[in-house]
Every structure is written in C-alpha cells, then in structure tokens.
Chain A
C-alpha cells in the first residue's frame, strides 16, 4: 500500500489554476523526486501537503488517513515534516535548541514543570539533549551545537533544517530544494546523507530539486510538473529520457 496517496489534487488562486489534476503515489521507503521548471507549482504542492494552503479539490491520504483541510500542526503530528526553499531556521537560537524545538511534541512536560524545574524537567531535558545530539551527529553538526543557527554556513543551515524536520519523527520527509546553494562536493555529501536518513530512519522522502545530478543519483521515481500539471511520471531513467520532458524542462 502506498504511504502517500494523492488524487486529483488542484488549487486555484482567484482565476489562476496553479495546480490541476495532480496525482502521486509514494511507497514506504521510497526516494521520490518532484521536478519541473520554475513556477510549475512544486512548492505549491508542498504547501498543500503540509496544510499551508487548503486544496480547492482532491484527496491527500497519508497511511490511509485523510489530510485535506487539516492544520499544519495536525499534519505534522500525523507524520509529514518539511524543509523550506528559503531556509527558515530559528536564527536567534542555538543549533541544539533548533533541533530541540523539533522534538517539542516527542518529549513533553508541562509549563509548570518547567518553571518549577521538577525532576521530570531534568529527565526530559536530558533525554532531549541526547536525542538532539544524536540527530546532529548524523549531519556532522554535533561539534557546532552551541553555535547560533544564523552563524552556520549555508550548506550546514540546510542540513540543520533537515535535522529539525527529522526530530518531529515523521513518516514522510519533504525536502524543498535541499541542494540549492551547495557546491558539487556538498551536493554529493548531501546525497549520501539523504540515503543514510532513508536507510537508518526508515524514512520516505519526497524532494523538489533542480540539480539533475542529485535527482538522477538518488531518486527512484520521478514526477515532472509543468504549468501545474503532471507531464510525466515513473522510473527516473524512463522519465529523464522522455522526449516531452527533455523539451519542456531539460533542454535538448
């Protein structure tokens, strides 16, 4: 059974039909790519999947649970976490705290417990620190845990965003242009990290990317979007050799 099942998804902004008849089926453990020219509606789809926009029509099902019309935080609790195209970190807080904020709903204690520093506070904080450091280690950020998030170099900010998203313990991870602004070496490193995350965290990943090397390198299946509609869908190799895709997006 598919983990994410989207059918007939569409959204209109006034007279503009930004996404129309979008369909996707992602199996558990898959690395799935969403590509297409600028303005095709890729980020809009992410925003619909995470409840930022409410779809005009269509069905979104995660593990059989209907997500249409739910709020962002409910969708996050249901198991979808994301990163953003323009990095959105908690810039005035430390790297460690950024991940700990991601753990907000995993390790709970009440406000009063926090103010009075009851034993539960210490226990939970210790657990949170351990878990957060574990996640930071995966992204090789553990020695920078004390840094202010805004002081990290660009590539590491992207990694931190992924770490924070993983901290919410999702079933499905949405990455919006994870390699944007990275040099070729960093991109290769990122590919390894994404594979590692998929294998070790038992994660399903849907990513938007323009870097074809990354897309062809790690994505197992692709959907190509053009003017809000699906242009092609299927195995990465087949899709990238599709003449229509080459004409509309890759260039001849």
Chain B
C-alpha cells in the first residue's frame, strides 16, 4: 500500500527532474557551442527569444492545460510586464543603482503588474463559463497595446508628466526626458536579458508551476477543470482557485515580458510582438507540446521558433516545411494510433516491465 503511494509521488518528481535536467543540459550544450564558435550569430540572437517564448508558454499552459480555460491574450500580459519593468529600469538608470538589483526589481515589478492585470480581468470574467474568457482576454491584449501606443510619460526636475495626447502637451522643463514616447515606445532600456538570465527565469517558472500543480491548490485547480459541479460539492471554492491559477499564469507571462523588454534597446507595442498573433503562436506551442506538459511546451516553443530560421536557406519552401512539421507534431501528439505506438515503444514501459519482472522473482 505504502509502496504504490510512493511510486505515484516518484513519477511526478521524476518528470519534474527530467525537465529541469533537460533545460540545464541544453544550457550547457549551447554555452559550449558558443565558446567553441560553433553557433552562428543569428542563432545566438535567437536564444533569448526562445527563453521568452518558453516562459510564456509555461504560463499559458497553467491556464489552458491545468485550469482548462482558453486565454487568447497572454501577449497582453507580456506587454504589461514588459512596459512596467522597462519604465522602472529607465527611471532607475541614472540613479546609480546596482545593475543586478535593478534587474531583479524590474523582474518583480513586471511580474506583479501582470499578475494584478490578470487578477483584475479574472474577477468578472472567471465567474462566467465557456468561451467568455477567450474573448475578453483577446480584447484585453488588443486594448492594452493600443493604450500604450497613445501613452506619453516624461520626467523632469519637477517629477513625472503624463499625457495621452502627444509629447508636447507634457509641458516639461528643458531638462525633461521622455520615458514612454507614444507609438515610438521606450528607447534606451538596458540590455540585460542574457541567455543565462533567460534560463534562470525558465527554471524559476518551472519550479513554481510544477510545485503548484502538485500541491493542494493544484489539485483543486485540476478538480475544477475535470468536473466543476463535483469540485463544488466537495467544498472547493471555484472562483478563488480559478482566479489564483489565472493570476499566476499571467504573472509568468509578465516575467517573459520583462525578459523581452530588456532584450532590445527599443521597446514598442506593435501587432508583431504583442498582438494576437503572438498570443496564438504561444497557444500553438502549448497545444502542440501537449496541454498539461510543461516540458512539451518548452520543446514546442524551441522547435517551432528555430525551424523558420534553420530553414532560411530553403527560401520559399521554408513556410511549407514549417506547416508540415506542425501537422506531424500534432499527429504524433494526439492521434490515437500514434499514442498507442508511443506507449508500446516508450522507454518508461520497457523499464516498467523490468521492474515488474524483478518483483516476481
């Protein structure tokens, strides 16, 4: 009795450790490749975006895979996290604050602001059922992008000035500096997002997500996904746990946004980076990687982001191949025959058989 109990815990821990090990192994391999000059500068430029997409995909997986609610606005949470942290970093740049401390604070601010937005949106919307959340988050992503595009924030010796008209209406002193310049966004954020930082944030996101889903709270969240009425009947507060899962999911997306903001020196809210295309792309990572599998989300994010770049040499054919890979991944992950084949040939099963045989002896 005790033994079977232990086994189930081990299974979860094992999957967790494999994922951590995978991330660290990739990190080591990439570092070796960089130091030996085996990696093109194009690829090196992709490393941080890969981390960003992986992080946001982990966050979205919490919402889609574990809570079972569709969000089409995670790019919006990324955007909120990116801009709030960039504003902080820009303001603090001249203060002489330790750079690492500044980045950590920026990360915290971006995460918390995204969480607050997630919470605010969740309060009214998560009380509803069905597709409402998808529609509202989709709208949120679009609105936040447009709002940021008309925001003007400046700072001079008198303090902060804010306007939603244009930069002239800020009425700043001669020494004033623009922080957010409308559609031109934020210029001159410090470039502190390195591959190492990205990997660390991935590991933190994984740690939070794994531990969350394997705790009392995580079980309650999955109970709501599996059967709302039954969850209520055993005394689980539906609204509370839905809101909690959604807020944490938004916070992780916000952390991805912070990484994004500190990767390039110019931060603008364009449809290309924070529009619904981005939200859909991240949803594609989550769905193809397997809902409820954080490891799958990371693998899908990496493969699907690298692919178009790797195939650049094939010119016109690259989008064709990208599409074919998408379809193959989908079939491999979800087709019943493929799942059957995978179960038959998986390492786990082979090991499992061995264990059983030993028990008999």
* A and B interact: yes
Interface residues of A (CB under 8 A from B): 50, 52, 72-73, 76-77, 81-82, 84, 88-94, 96-97, 100-102, 104-105, 107-109, 111, 113-117, 121, 124, 128-129, 133, 137, 142-143, 145-146, 164-165, 167-168
**Contact between chains at A145 and B215 (CB < 8 Å):** no
- Determine how close the nearest CB of chain B comes to the CB of A143; give it in whole angstroms: 7
Cβ contact of A146, chosen from B2, B4, B208, cutoff 8 A: B4
- Determine how close the nearest CB of chain B comes to the CB of A166; give it in whole angstroms: 10
Residues in B whose Cβ lies below 8 Å from that of A115: 207-208, 211-212, 215
Additional A-B contact list (6), CB under 8 Å, known A88-B230, A92-B222, A102-B234: A93-B226, A96-B8, A101-B236, A104-B216, A137-B1, A146-B7
Contact with A along B180-194 (1 / 0, CB 8 A): 000000000000000
- Nearest 5 CB-CB pairings of A with B: A114-B215, A88-B230, A76-B235, A90-B226, A111-B217
Interface residues of B (CB under 8 A from A): 1-2, 4-5, 7-8, 207-208, 211-212, 214-220, 222-223, 225-227, 229-237, 244
Do A82 and B233 form a contact, CB below 8 Å, given A92-B226, A129-B5, A145-B8? yes
**Interface of B (DSSP majority class):** helix
**Contact between chains at A90 and B227 (CB < 8 Å):** yes
CA distance A13 to B227 in the complex (A): 25
Among A82, A102, A115, A121, max chain B CB count under 10 A is at A115
CA distance A165 to B235 in the complex (A): 10
**Contact between chains at B217 and A114 (CB < 8 Å):** yes
**Contact between chains at B233 and A81 (CB < 8 Å):** yes
Do A104 and B226 form a contact, CB below 8 Å, given A116-B211, A145-B8? no
Residues in A whose Cβ lies below 8 Å from that of B244: 111
Residues in B whose Cβ lies below 8 Å from that of A117: 211
- Determine how close the nearest CB of chain B comes to the CB of A15; give it in whole angstroms: 26
**Contact between chains at B219 and A97 (CB < 8 Å):** yes
Residues in A whose Cβ lies below 8 Å from that of B211: 114-117
CA distance A97 to B216 in the complex (A): 10
- Determine how close the nearest CB of chain A comes to the CB of B222; give it in whole angstroms: 6
